[in-house]
Structure 1
Amino acid sequence: MSDQNLVPKPDDLFDVVDELDRVIAVRPRREVHALGLLHRAVHVLVFNDAGQLFLQKRSMKKDRQPGLWDSSASGHVDHGEDYDTAAIREFEEELGVKPPSNLTRWFKVEARPETDHEFVWVYRAYHNGPFRLHPIEIDDGAWFMPDHIEKWLAERPQDFASAVPVILAHARTLGQWPGCDLLHWPSQR
């Protein structure tokens, strides 16, 4: 796939969904965003053996939330695509490597303004890198300890894409952020 195929286009098609995440229509990307229609996305949180989370800094070329720190990999679910396929695709496109076999669904976040009206399935995986970050999608990336991210988020929330605080807050409600359950999955490595 060429780099040009990875650049979001205003006419890319998204499935529009209802409040129960059921597909009700298909609309162009620009219309979905302009009208705040409910649609679907995935976020992948990648942890290494040291318990660090990889965050990406969104490219300044992005049309939405450029230059902000975001999940390890994230993106829209394309028209006709399911969440799992989208998670694998985004992992490969943005991080430049095949996803590990331990890539699994973790939890779902309901659509709201902070998620850009997206229903978001959050996935987690273990991978120690290195990654080949896609230059059109990502300007930078780094590993951070969860406690550092928490402090950073509290002091400078404006540094993060709007879905990140929602996702991490949901992980906290599960008792798995920044806890040992999240950081040690010996059966899934």
Structure 2
Amino acid sequence: MGAAEELLDVVDASDRVIGQAPRGEVYARGLCHRCVFVLVTNAAGEIFVHRRTPGKLVFPSRYDMFTGGVVGAGESYDGAALREAGEELGVSGLPQPTPLFRFRYDGEGMSWWSAVYQVRWDLPVRPQPEEVDWYAFLPRAELERRLAEETAHGEWVPDGLAAYRLLTEYGH
């Protein structure tokens, strides 16, 4: 099954499940669904940053400071956070990410409820080549510098930027 056929829960403005639809239909019709964002840091406090591949359905070839993705139909936010982070990092044995907060993202004709998590990973990563074109663990100051320089050019995923702004506002 391809990504466009993956079944997602469709949710209302209060994050209650009101139906299910394939991911391609959810995106095409702008239906509200669920996503997870996982901030991955290492022992030095550096943040895993990556560039998405050109084949991604949403925000291809853009940079992101979160691993994550959609929550599958019937899947919990916690389960999706662990699955998505492990898949994107290409690791097994990842500890359960810690939930931080939820928010609703609305932009670019789409909307989704977003659960933001954090997790620490100190072992080597092997990101999926179909998901990740480039990656590095960056010091927060370097990430902030890149955000200041590149945000105006649309090089970062807008939902990740929204989540990161909230994360820093909440003092994480």
Matched residues, percent identical? 36
Which of 122, 125, 136 is equivalent to 2:130? 136
Residue range with higher mean Cα deviation, 91-100 or 31-40: 91-100
Q: Does 1:159 align with 2:155?
A: yes
TM-score by length of 1: 0.83
Residue 5 of structure 2 aligns to a residue whose secondary structure is coil
Q: CA deviation at 1:117?
A: 0.8
The superposition leaves residues 57-83 of structure 1 with CA deviations (integer Å, 9 ceiling, x where unpaired) of 111121221111113411100111111
Q: Does 1:50 align with 2:44?
A: yes
Which of 33, 41, 52 is equivalent to 2:27? 33
Q: CA deviation at 1:114?
A: 5.8
Residue range with higher mean Cα deviation, 15-24 or 89-98: 89-98
Over the aligned positions, Cα root-mean-square deviation in angstroms equals 1.7
Residue 81 of structure 1 aligns to a residue whose secondary structure is coil
**Stretches of structure 2 lacking an aligned partner (at least 5 in a row):** none
Q: Does 1:14 align with 2:16?
A: no
Which of 70, 87, 102 is equivalent to 1:93? 87
Q: CA deviation at 1:99?
A: 4.8
In the other structure, the counterpart of 1:61 is 55
- The structure where strand makes up a greater share of residues is 2
Structure 2: which amino acid aligns with 1:160? W
Residue range with higher mean Cα deviation, 10-19 or 148-157: 148-157
> Do the aligned partners of 1:115 and 1:162 also contact (CA within 8 Å) in 2?
no
Number of corresponding residues: 170
Q: Does 1:149 align with 2:143?
A: yes
The superposition leaves residues 75-127 of structure 1 with CA deviations (integer Å, 9 ceiling, x where unpaired) of 10011111111111112211111253362111112231169411111110111
TM-score by length of 2: 0.91
**Stretches of structure 1 lacking an aligned partner (at least 5 in a row):** 177-189
